[in-house]
Structure formats: C-alpha cells, structure tokens
Chains A and B, each alone.
Chain A
Amino acid sequence: MSYLPCGVYHEYYRQDHAWWQTKFVIGKMIFLALFLFYILPFWGGLYWVGVANLVTYTIMGALGVQLLIGYCGQVTLGHAAFIAVGAYTATLLMLQLNVPYLLSMLIGGLVAGLWAIIFGLPSAKVKGFYLIMTSLAAQFVTVDFILTQFVSQIGGRGQAFSLPPGTITIGPLVIDDDTKVYFLGVILTILLTMILANLLRSKVGRAWIAIRDNDIAAETMGINIVFYKLLAFFVAGFMGGIAGAFWVSNLAALSPEHFQWFWSLWLVGVILIGGVGSIYGTIFGSLFMVLILEGLKFAIIPLTPIYPQLSMKFLFLKEATFGLAICIFLIYEPNGLAYRWWQIKNYFNLWPFSY
C-alpha cells in the first residue's frame, strides 16, 4: 500500500478500507474511465484500438500468472496451456452446440480452471524447479499434443478452427469489429482485475500470500496448503480461460499456434518487468511490453532503406529485444516498474515533508 497524502486522516473503518480514499484518486479514476471508454476508442483511431486489444488480452492472461507467481509463489511456465483450453472450449461450444458467447466464455473459464487444477496437483508434493518442470509439461502435453492432435480433429475442420463472421454475438450485438472487441476486452479486464484485487484482500488472498512467504509457517497457522494452492491454480486457470475465450473474438481462426510456449514465457516476462506481487505491475508490464515492441516497429521504419531485410526480420529482432529486456530488468530493476511507480507516487504524497 502506498502512503496517504499529507493531511488525510480517516475516522471510520469504512473509509480506511475504501478502494479510493481521496477525492484526487476518484478524479483520476473518472479520468481513466473517460479515457478508456471515450477518448481512446472514438478519437484514438483503429490502430491504437488494435494495440489496446492486445494489451487487454495480455493483462487478462498475465493476471493469472501474477496470482500464481506473485501472490501464491507457484512458478508456472505453462500458462498459455490454460488460455488455450479456455479458447478451445469456448470455440467448440459455440461452433458445435451454438451456445451463446458469454455462457461459453464462462464454461471455458471453468474448464480451464479445472484443467489447471490437474496440473497444479503436483504442487502438493514438489515446489521450486520441479514445479516449473511440471508446468512445462502442462504446456507441451496440452497444446502440442492434446489440442493439436485430438481436439483439432473435432468437427473435421482441419488444423485451424475458422470462425465465420457473426459467430460471436452477445444477445443482439454482433462482435465483429475492433472497437466492439475493445469494449468487451476493457470491461472483462476491469472485472477480472476487480475480482483478483478483492480476492487478495479477503481471507483467501491472505492465505495465498502466507503460502508464498513461508509455506511451513502458513501450515502451522492452520491454512490448508493443498486446498489454497489448488484454489490459486483454479482461479488463475479460470482467468486464463476467460482471456482465451475473449481472444477468440479477435481472431478469424483459432489454431494451436496462438498458444505456443513463447506466449507462456511472454506472460511471465510481462509480470517480471511490471513487478512481481503487484496488480499494477501486471498492467504496467503489459503496457510496457506491447508499447515498446510497437515503438520498435516505428523505430526501424527509417532504417529499412539502409538494410532492406530489417522489416522481414523484425520478428527476430522483437524476440531478441524481449529477451534482453527481461535480463536487464531482472538485473538492474528487480522490483519492476510497479516499484518505480510506488516511489513516484509516495514522493508526491509525502511532499513536502518526506521524512
């Protein structure tokens, strides 16, 4: 938690526990809502809306990773598997059984959560590196084997499930362009963030944090470690599943290639850069990674006349930059962007009497 501004005191617990404690914060939130729901989608142009869609998807996926790694201490390098399970469940329900989109999204999330529990079971016995290995196996078994070889055969659609326009509808509203996807994404992101933030300040969240900090001490305090770990896997998988089901609305065709191991590592990289153990961190990290790579795209345009292959090889440059960014952040800024933000905020909150 950051410090309150100078001169603000609370008289009731209700005030003390409020999310937005000062008028200034409420003002910021109103401005943020205005920006998200009016300025960006209507004045920003389609390009930035597309970028924003990628950001919302990254945030939703990374929230689950943040919960597992940052709040429960269970390192996972296979989160793309759960996202994929959510996406495939939702798509199959829509295409085969004509289930409405929102319902299939919910079922997708639940199935992904249950799937995450299966691969979370070893966490009852092992931790650290061995758990990482299990999550790695989850990635390869789920995406490269089950989804590619078996699930993709359902319905005889071939390797990629094409989603004809007009498949994804919410009631009478057809989600068919970037702006509508954007609104769906922003609303879902806000919902998921609120769910996670509220969970974290409840009994469940405190149990998770206790397990992260010291699992033996947590057990002696009477926390059922296995239950809460599996619950963390379930919630993280659920969020991943919702993210996957959301991303379906932005795709013309769904194939296992969208959920490769790279994406799992990408999500972990996002939270490491943003800051482990902070919801802000998830959002900052997603913004930073997506925007930096978009900026890189602009930066190399002037260089293409000098070295024409550069735009073709951009993908590789992106990969190398991502790797280098992770290394540099971990070595020089191990607390991530959220820590920097926390410092800046406190500087202004405590100004002028910072001691």
Chain B
Amino acid sequence: MQLFLQVLITGIMMGGIYALVALGWTLIYKCSGVLNLAMGELTLIGAYVSLTFYLWGVPFLLSLLFTVIIGFVLGLITERIFLDKLIGEPVLTVIMVTVGLSFFFRGIVEFLFGTDTVIFDPPVFPMQPIDIGGIIIGQVYLWSFVAAIVLLIAFVAFFQYTRWGLAMQATADDEMAAMSLGVSARFVYATAWGIAFIAAGVGGTLLGNINGLNISVGYLGLLVLPAVVLGGLNSVPGAIVGGIIIGVLQNFSGAYLDRFTPGGVKEIAPFVFMVIILLFKPYGLWGWERIERV
C-alpha cells in the first residue's frame, strides 16, 4: 500500500509536467490542425535556454521568464517561416515538416550545447525530501507539480477571459466564422505556436531540474502523443487528464511490471497503452468523434 501510494503520487507529479506539454500540443492542433511531432525538441530548446541563463547567474524565476519570452518569439518565427506556407496542405506533408523541424532543432541544440548531461547548479529546489505520512516526495517533484499546475491554470484563464484567448477559441471552433468576425487566423496560428513553445519550455525546464538535462528530455515530446490520444486530440481538459494518467501509468508499470521482464517496460508502457486506446476508443476521452471509418 505504501508503495502503491508512493508510486501514485510520483506519477501524478510527473503527469503534471506531461499535462503542461500536452496542453501546448493540443493548442497547436486545435487552432491550426497541425499534428506536431517536434514537441520534444521544443522542450529541449526551452530547457537549454533557461539553463543557460541560470548558469550565467540569473535568478531562476527571472531565467524562466526569459525562457518564456524567447520561447514565444521563437514560436512566432517558426510558425511564420515554416508552418505558415503549409496551410491547406495534406496531413502527411505537415507532419513531415514538423519531423524535419524536430531534426533541425535537435541538431542545433546538440551542436550548441553538446550531449553531456548538465544540471542546474546550484540546485534550484532544496534537495531535502518531504515525508508526508510515510510517503516520501522529493521537493523537486512537488515544486515542479505546483509550477505546472499554476501554469495550467494561467493558460486556462487566458483562454477563458482574455481577448486573444477567446479569439483562439473562436478560431478553433469555426475558422470561417471567426475570420468573418475579424479574428486574424494567421495571428492565432502564430500565437498558438508561441504558447506551445512556452508550455514546452517550462515543462522541459522542470524536467531538467528533476533528472538533469540532456538530449533524452526530448523523449518527453513522444510521451505527449499517448497523452493527447488518450485525452482526445482536440480537448484541453483531455490533454491535462491524459498527461496525468500517462504519468501515473508509466510509474505504475515501472514499479510493478519491470520485475517480470529484463527491463524497459517504463518507456514502452505508454505506447502499448496508446495502441490499446486506438483500437477501442480512437477519439479518446473527450475528442470530437469525427473519426473517418475505413
């Protein structure tokens, strides 16, 4: 029972970060219909930018703020250079452009920062774990979870209550109607990419705080896919719940199933789970049920 709760809590904490990145993914898909396979590289970029600032001696929160600003600008640039020209192209073309982008970004990041693991030094969060009724939680996990939740709430508030957020919702809902009401679709697409960069960058920074930062943080971008498939591709609450469920599931399979195999279940479980979802409920928990029957 102790182990069960421990694994559950850790899973939820990790899932919070996944949810944050998944939110960015869903946002791009909802607003512009782009299925983005470069999400992992966006997390890498954000994480390395904030790490660089932090190692220069900038306080953590300030470096996170810089990451957010740089991420937003990079998002706008990326959308304008690459994705803007592809509006209306076939799905495969757009997906492969994001794959190309992921290689491009990854190559650049590796070129600039190398492949060795780097850590936030001195550690941002206290190392002393917290003991809640026998369940031990590292403070890093706790604070990352808090940060992820705060950011999630901020994003949801942004969509519900600001002018830009409402414009984005309108575009996601019905592009033609939104355009006729004076919403600039191109502006919305660019903003969606900017926000996705922000979400991914903060998620990457938090993950980098937990285990140190190297190129494998980009693996997160692939974990986002099971999360969004589970939640429904175009559902924001689905992305959040899906991210948390995938986090929990991953930790459970690591804790309980790993002993039956030589290892590696933890990395694979989300994908196996994804195939099962795809077979039985392809539109996920709250996605639009607009699957074309074959």
A180 at the interface (CB under 8 A from B): no
Q: Which residues of A contact B268 (CB under 8 A)?
A: 140-141, 144-145
Q: How far is the CB of A229 from chain B (nearest CB, A)?
A: 8
Q: Which residues of B contact A127 (CB under 8 A)?
A: 292, 294
Query: B104's contact among A75, A129, A315, A323, by CB below 8 Å, is which?
Result: A323
**With A124-B294, A129-B233 as contacts: A326 and B103 at CB distance below 8 Å:** yes
Q: Are B101 and A130 in contact (CB under 8 A)?
A: no
- Give complex CA distance A127, B92 in Å: 12
Q: How far is the CB of B264 from chain A (nearest CB, A)?
A: 5
Q: Which residues of B contact A207 (CB under 8 A)?
A: none
Q: Which residues of B contact A318 (CB under 8 A)?
A: 107
Mark contacts of A89-133 with chain B using CB atoms, 8 A cut-off: 1 yes-contact digit, 0 otherwise. 000000000000000000000000000000000111111111011
Q: Which residues of A contact B108 (CB under 8 A)?
A: 316, 320
- Give complex CA distance A124, B279 in Å: 10
> Looking at the complex, which of B1-9, B65-73, B82-90, B145-153 is the stretch in contact with chain A?
B82-90
B262 at the interface (CB under 8 A from A): yes
Q: Which residues of B contact A145 (CB under 8 A)?
A: 264-265, 267-268
Q: Which residues of A contact B225 (CB under 8 A)?
A: 133, 136
> Looking at the complex, which of A170-178, A264-272, A280-288 is the stretch in contact with chain B?
A264-272
Q: Are A313 and B263 in contact (CB under 8 A)?
A: no
Q: Which residues of A contact B53 (CB under 8 A)?
A: none
B241 at the interface (CB under 8 A from A): no
Q: Which residues of B contact A69 (CB under 8 A)?
A: 92
Q: Which residues of B contact A228 (CB under 8 A)?
A: none
Interface of A is mostly: helix
Q: Are A126 and B282 in contact (CB under 8 A)?
A: yes
For chain B, the bracket of interface size reads: 35 or more
Q: Are B294 and A225 in contact (CB under 8 A)?
A: yes
- Give complex CA distance A319, B109 in Å: 11
Query: B262's contact among A124, A137, A149, A320, by CB below 8 Å, is which?
Result: A149
The winner among B97, B107, B267 for most chain A CB atoms within 10 A is B107
Q: How far is the CB of A329 from chain B (nearest CB, A)?
A: 8
Q: Which residues of B contact A50 (CB under 8 A)?
A: none
B274 at the interface (CB under 8 A from A): yes
Q: How far is the CB of B52 from chain A (nearest CB, A)?
A: 17
Query: B101's contact among A125, A140, A149, A327, by CB below 8 Å, is which?
Result: A327
Q: Which residues of A contact B264 (CB under 8 A)?
A: 144-145, 148-149
- Give complex CA distance A104, B88 in Å: 46
Mark contacts of B225-253 with chain A using CB atoms, 8 A cut-off: 1 yes-contact digit, 0 otherwise. 10001000100000000000000000000
Interface of B is mostly: helix
A24 at the interface (CB under 8 A from B): no
**With A149-B264, A153-B262, A316-B107 as contacts: A330 and B97 at CB distance below 8 Å:** yes
A252 at the interface (CB under 8 A from B): no
**With A134-B275, A140-B267 as contacts: A316 and B110 at CB distance below 8 Å:** yes
- Give complex CA distance A5, B267 in Å: 57
A18 at the interface (CB under 8 A from B): no
Q: Are A129 and B35 in contact (CB under 8 A)?
A: yes
Q: Are A320 and B291 in contact (CB under 8 A)?
A: no
- Give complex CA distance A150, B94 in Å: 36
Q: Are A320 and B111 in contact (CB under 8 A)?
A: yes
Number of interface residues of A (CB under 8 A): 48
Query: A126's contact among B35, B106, B222, B278, by CB below 8 Å, is which?
Result: B278
Q: Are B292 and A319 in contact (CB under 8 A)?
A: no
B102 at the interface (CB under 8 A from A): yes
Q: Are A330 and B107 in contact (CB under 8 A)?
A: no
Q: Are A128 and B292 in contact (CB under 8 A)?
A: yes
The winner among B104, B261, B263, B274 for most chain A CB atoms within 10 A is B104
B95 at the interface (CB under 8 A from A): yes
Q: Which residues of A contact B222 (CB under 8 A)?
A: 136
**With A132-B95, A269-B99, A318-B107 as contacts: A331 and B82 at CB distance below 8 Å:** yes
Query: Can you add 5 more A-B contacts, CB < 8 Å, to A137-B275, A331-B86?
Result: A75-B95, A136-B271, A137-B274, A268-B96, A326-B103
Query: What are 15 A-to-B residue pairs whose CB atoms are below 8 Å?
Result: A69-B92, A126-B278, A127-B292, A129-B35, A130-B229, A134-B278, A140-B268, A141-B271, A144-B268, A268-B96, A268-B99, A322-B100, A322-B107, A330-B93, A330-B97
Q: Which residues of B contact A (CB under 8 A)?
A: 35, 82, 85-86, 89, 91-93, 95-97, 99-108, 110-111, 222, 225, 229, 233, 261-265, 267-268, 271-272, 274-275, 278-279, 282, 291-292, 294
Q: Which 8 A-B pairs have the closest CB atoms?
A: A320-B107, A323-B103, A326-B100, A323-B104, A319-B107, A316-B110, A327-B100, A316-B111
